[in-house]
Structure 1
């Protein structure tokens, strides 16, 4: 009987974690990923890189990291918990670790049975700042497909956030207006190009002010028409993570279930479509343009065998001598980093204006350069 119970226990354990292993991000193992893969029969291909919090001075690896493995694995989602190095004033240290983690997961997609088109990032507190930094600053090939942010530090404005996180992340540059603004990630949100996000927080968080941080990120996303959901619980303070003592623990998991189910999941071999253009592509003047704009509608019609991205910017020209040349925008760099299979181009309306068309003789050359 004892032997039978042990066998049953082992079988249950195997269904929770089909495979758990650790891989180094840095040669010395100071930064590493602990990977929890779901059982092959349950795997959906979705994966999440998890950034625990700790004020950029330490890491809460359990309730903001490994404790989440069973929850995600049971949903067929791989969880990759990042142990990142502390910045000690050099912000590039944790950022480079997070970038390397995203690259490793996507590069290992075939071996780990992961869909490289469905890799998200999750972060808690200061880890939420790191996750939102990757979501807003990373090159296209390293940018996550979605973000899950728990009671995140978002702003680096000293009076509006967790002081320790600013001190540790920015160091001697914490008084630099430019650096503070650059890494106040609500200011770094870009329409279409910052991935969909879900923000979870408690109304009585007395460590990270919610209005200037989590709510600010939600507002910035909504302002430009990006997908973002906000879940604010009446109480729970800061740092509830996977703690079952959190009064709204089951409600939070249910909310996360629903949000994950809402997220589209493209096929592993989805054909990549880049929509490049001006205000028509951008969806200028359209409420929630990432739902009602033409690239979003094109995605609905094509289905999950295609992955359509909107790289439109209103008022831009094909002409490089125009007043606002498209090819001088970050969106153009992102479109190239996306490595599309199909490109839809709608440029030329603003080129036809007299002040721009005086350079019209170069239109064909500039169009060829874009192509």
Structure 2
């Protein structure tokens, strides 16, 4: 199939691409994942019943020799979904020197189809890539099928299922991939697994566990041990059956994770890249063993997610500088909120802010909590008309709310390292906007800092005495409370030293 789209594709692939430096590659694209990722091009691979299906291509740097190719299929229960789900993975593997593709295929909500058409389209995509290997500059014997959930099922079935081929295609070209990588795939479509109601009367026809045979391509399977959508037992059983048939099949069990854990920050905003990195790294190693990739992965396998929690001194730039200091093995996110307090009845009680909710969604491994500057403000702590459900003194409320905050992160991740930070020093300053700054300073040292020290000891969490570490910060303050950029850089450096 050598149409106009292939000629355009060939011309584009002969143009020189800009080489991104290793540091930016790791720290910006894959550790942060915040930028807008788009494919280099889209190419039509199939027309069926009036529908046009495209492959979203992510091209490697120009190579004289043909490269391997990996084709991703998105998840969505064969009902919905979007190729963008695998843009972050595609971007990474293209950077590693192979052609990466995120494929469209028909789904029920858009095309009124069943899982059987999904399988047919997956086979069509693999066949098209192999048939056009020369134009794509790939090795037709190094094609990987990959995907997540229902898309993982599509990837598995391209290797396992005979039939369901589109008769209008060149069937002399194989639709079977040379390797498979599947992320929490549907591997059993009977009552023991997922999707039996969508394949009534044909439950075993496209059920991977029921179609295992010898001489299958090597496979790598990722599955969360607490997956409530596709039972982890299905992945264990599929892997066992594959090995019993003499096939190479590896299962990576990801402890305590549910369905869809492999998605990164690009597709699942705010979740972080911890498990994106883990799965991409292990996929990279798997492909390197097959000689589809060269050299070591260019991203960290295990990263720690760091949540910076606090008020305007957190919302400022110290988290950005902290990321620079900690490096690629950490992903730092800023969940600070200007004016935030732990006591209720203020303009910005932290528990009611989106920053708090987003910090929990991130599921941090390290939590840095710095509150008290605004809680010490006379405007709030001495306001007898302040609306709060807490019965007791402002000091008791501050301590109670602080402990409550700590416990929410402990429940989210029982292994999280939690640090409580004493607030930055407060100074009398010509640009201060607080007419009661002297009282605020007094409150800070009379009860805020002592309470934080008590909490650290009582709750068995770590203390970072920022107030002491930054005791000479006056020359960096801009208004007696906040620092300039140099000051926040120094703060980040000191915090990094404490937690690294």
TM-score (norm 2): 0.45
* TM-align CA RMSD: 2.8
Q: Is the 8 A contact 2:116 2:206 kept in 1?
A: no
Quote the residue 1:105 is aligned against. 129
Shift of 1:31: 2.3
Closer/same/farther in 2, CA of residues 242 and 149 from structure 1, 3 Å limit: same
Question: Is 1:135 aligned with 2:156?
Answer: no
Q: Counterparts of 2:211 and 2:236 in 1: how far apart (Å)?
A: 15
* Matches for 1:223-242 after TM superposition, within 5 Å: 223-242=244-263
* Matches for 1:169-184 after TM superposition, within 5 Å: 170=199, 174=200, 176=201, 179-184=202-207
Quote the residue 1:312 is aligned against. none
Closer/same/farther in 2, CA of residues 249 and 99 from structure 1, 3 Å limit: closer
* Matches for 1:41-80 after TM superposition, within 5 Å: 41=63, 45-63=67-85, 65-80=86-101
Q: Counterparts of 2:252 and 2:190 in 1: how far apart (Å)?
A: 23
1:161 to 168, 178, 193: 193
1:260 to 249, 274, 287: 287
Question: Is 1:145 aligned with 2:178?
Answer: yes
Q: Counterparts of 2:274 and 2:18 in 1: how far apart (Å)?
A: 31
Q: How many residues align?
A: 244
Higher relative contact order (CA 8 A, sep 6+): 1
Q: Counterparts of 1:20 and 1:107 in 2: how far apart (Å)?
A: 18
Q: Counterparts of 1:53 and 1:59 in 2: how far apart (Å)?
A: 6
Shift of 1:111: 0.6
Closer/same/farther in 2, CA of residues 67 and 222 from structure 1, 3 Å limit: same
Closer/same/farther in 2, CA of residues 43 and 73 from structure 1, 3 Å limit: farther
Q: Is the 8 A contact 1:18 1:38 kept in 2?
A: no
Structure 1 stretches of 5 or more lacking a match?
A: 1-9, 267-371
Q: Is the 8 A contact 1:236 1:246 kept in 2?
A: no
Quote the residue 1:185 is aligned against. 208
Choose 1 or 2 for highest CA Rg. Answer: 2
Q: Counterparts of 1:14 and 1:44 in 2: how far apart (Å)?
A: 23
Q: Counterparts of 2:103 and 2:183 in 1: how far apart (Å)?
A: 16
For residues 308-340 of structure 1, the C-alpha deviation after alignment (integer angstroms, 9 at most, x for no partner) is xxxxxxxxxxxxxxxxxxxxxxxxxxxxxxxxx
Q: Is the 8 A contact 2:39 2:57 kept in 1?
A: no
Q: Is the 8 A contact 2:130 2:143 kept in 1?
A: yes
Q: Is the 8 A contact 1:44 1:76 kept in 2?
A: no
Shift of 1:14: 11
SS at match of 2:84: coil
Q: Counterparts of 2:281 and 2:21 in 1: how far apart (Å)?
A: 24
Q: Counterparts of 1:43 and 1:54 in 2: how far apart (Å)?
A: 36
Shift of 1:211: 0.5
* Matches for 1:1-371 after TM superposition, within 5 Å: 11-12=18-19, 19-26=40-47, 28-41=50-63, 45-63=67-85, 65-87=86-108, 88=112, 90-138=114-162, 141-158=174-191, 160-162=192-194, 165-168=195-198, 170=199, 174=200, 176=201, 179-192=202-215, 194-212=216-234, 214-244=235-265, 245=272, 247-264=274-291
Structure 2 stretches of 5 or more lacking a match?
A: 1-16, 26-37, 164-172, 266-271, 294-500
Shift of 1:189: 1.2
Q: Counterparts of 1:210 and 1:130 in 2: how far apart (Å)?
A: 18
Q: Is the 8 A contact 2:94 2:100 kept in 1?
A: yes
